Amino acid sequence: MAGKYGVENLKQLMDLGFGMGNVAKAALADGKIDLQDLAQLVPILPLLGPAIDDIDVAPKELTELDKQDADALIAHGRSKLSGMPDDKLKAIVQHSLRIGLEVGLMISKLKK
């Protein structure tokens, strides 16, 4: 970690992104999304608070991101998605960050 912000908020946003991906995967398991799939949302509820608490810091963390920070994010992703090839893992980490950041920013704006 070279910068003063680190990557803790980015990890929380990644967790939210991973959670949302898991919800979508589980909801689509039967080929359709319906009211019965609402229960799939429960596991992401505890991820929302940590992801948006310091959402304003996340863009600063991204700005300061260096190789060591990027490696830490990849390692965090690997801990959640073990056994995945590196190229696929890196792509999913990037997508999970985007999803988490956008959802977090939207919720933050709705709170104001």
pLDDT in tens, 46-100: 988 888 888 888 888 888 989 999 899 999 999 988 888 989 999 999 888 888 8
Q: What is the domain count for the chain?
A: 1
Residue ranges making up the domain that contains 49: 8-111
Q: Which residues, 6+ apart, have CB-to-CB distance to 77 below 8 Å?
A: 14, 18, 89, 90, 92, 93, 96
Residue 103 burial (CB count, 10 A): 21
Q: For residue 66, what are its two tokens?
A: 């260096």
- The model's pTM: 0.82
Asked if residue 20 lies in contact with residue 103, where contact means CB atoms within 8 angstroms, the answer is yes
Query: How far apart are alpha carbons 17 and 35 in whole angstroms?
Result: 22
Give a yes or no: residue 2 inside a domain.
Answer: no
Q: What's the confidence (pLDDT) of residue 71?
A: 92
Q: Which residues, 6+ apart, have CB-to-CB distance to 49 below 8 Å?
A: none
